[in-house]
Structure formats: C-alpha cells, structure tokens
Amino acid sequence: MSTLEIKDLRVSVDTEDGPKEILKGVTLTIGDGETHAIMGPNGSGKSTLAYSIAGHPKYTITGGTVTLDGEDVLAMSVDQRARAGLFLAMQYPVEVPGVSVSNFLRTAKTAIDGEAPKLRTWVKDVNTALEQLNLDPSFGQRSVNEGFSGGEKKRHEIAQLELLNPHVAILDETDSGLDIDALKVVAEGVNRFRAQEGKGVLLITHYTRILRYITPDYVHVFVNGRIAEQGGPELADQLEAEGYDKYLRVPTGG
C-alpha cells in the first residue's frame, strides 16, 4: 500500500530576473489504488509538479512537503526516490546513444531492486513487455530513444513502468504526440499497471481523450500554479465542453 502526500508545495525556478514562483501551494494526496488526473492549460505548472516530485535540479522547493508512505521525498536523492517507488514518464523522453534498451532496463531494475534480475528470466520479461506494447523484441537492441518515433518513445516508457513496477507512477503528458492506435496501447499498459494492488497514478494531460481509456478516480484543474477545482471523472467532460476560460478570467474590482 502506498500514499503520496503533497502539502502546500511551493516551487520556483531561476530566471534572468531572479527566482520565479511556479507552484504556489499545491496540496494533493494520491491514496492507495487511486488514479488522479491533472488537467490545465499550457504554462500552468503541471510538468513542474511532476519534475519537482522526481527531483529535477532545475526546480527549487521553497515550501511545503512531499511524503511517500510517511517518508520525506524531498530529502531523498533522485535515485533514492526511484528506489522508494516513484516513477516519472517524461513528456519529452531523452535519447541515450550507445546504450541499448535491454541494458538500460536491466541496469535500472538492478539499481531499484539492489540485485540484478536473472538474465534468462529478464530477457523473457522484457520481450513480453515490449510485445504487449506492440514493439518488436529486436527493439531491445536499439539505443534508448535514438531514432524512435514519438509513439515508440511513449510506448517504451510504459514498458519501463511495467518492468520496474513502482508504487506510484507520475505520467507527464504520456498521450502527447500519439495517434489513436498508440494511445490505446499506452492506455492498456497503464491500466495493467494500476490493476495491481496498491498502485497510485498521477496522470498529467491537456486533453480528455486519454481519459476515455484510463478512467480517473479524481480530476484536478491546475491553473497558475494551483489546483483551481477538483472532482470526479465528470469534471473532465465539463472541461472538454467548456475549456479553461472560466478559470483564467481575472475578476475585476468593483
């Protein structure tokens, strides 16, 4: 069982004009077995939330707490966060030339588990994960993300998710750049993961289309570094119909 608890999180980045606050007090709890969707316009801070939880050095935590099962996530190094059970699927996966997908995955699994998986079993597990995501087993010999299409990069990340099997998955716009077939395959992979006992998912997206295949328990509207509204899956339908305009309008004084 796992609970990711974010309380009053405040985050800034350095700019030419000095520190700029991006997250302005975010409070959110992802309980055991829950899937939360965060939706919001460009520049609202959604990706900043994901990268701050994962430990990206670009972002400075200026206030608040993040805990996983009561343990202080912000006191952990990036690799310690991964070993504790956090996983981040990035909006723009990076290329790692010269490192094969198979070696990359085995190295990551070894680092998280503290021991190397048995090679014969591991090869079978990797091939199964790739095939489930419509990736040929020969894909395992290619360099990580080098020359991959957008859909291949995203499907590879979900293969990582299934093989590393974290407690909480943070998926940053995993649906971006996917055609409808790839979207369905990715969604099926996420659903396989969250069908297991004790898994939490934080799904960040602009659009509702992935939520047709991954039904969230909660939807949060993210605007200007804060959660502006939250509700059930029906809130996503409302956003699809009405957009974000009502959250972006600045009230005038009277």
Domains and CATH numbers, the chain: 4-248 (3.40.50.300)
SS3 197: coil
Q: Residue range 63-79: average pLDDT? A: 96
The span from the CA of 205 to the CA of 218, in Å, is 13
Answer for the pair 105, 187: CB distance below 8 angstroms, yes or no: no
Q: At residue 116, what is the residue type?
A: A
Q: What distance in Å separates the CA atoms of residue 52 and residue 70, rounded to the nearest whole number?
A: 18
Residue 7 has pLDDT above 60, yes or no: yes
Q: How many C-beta atoms lie closer than 10 Å to residue 66's C-beta?
A: 24
Quote the tokens at residue 40: 């919001």
- Percent of the chain at pLDDT exceeding 70: 97
**pLDDT exceeds 50 at position 85:** yes
Q: Confidence band (pLDDT; 50, 70, 90) for 170?
A: very high
Amino acid found at 119? L
- Percentage of residues of the chain with pLDDT beyond 90: 67
pLDDT exceeds cutoff 60 at 70: yes
Position 252 scores a pLDDT of 46
Residue 214's SS3 state is: coil
Sign of CA dihedral 244, 211, 51, 42: negative
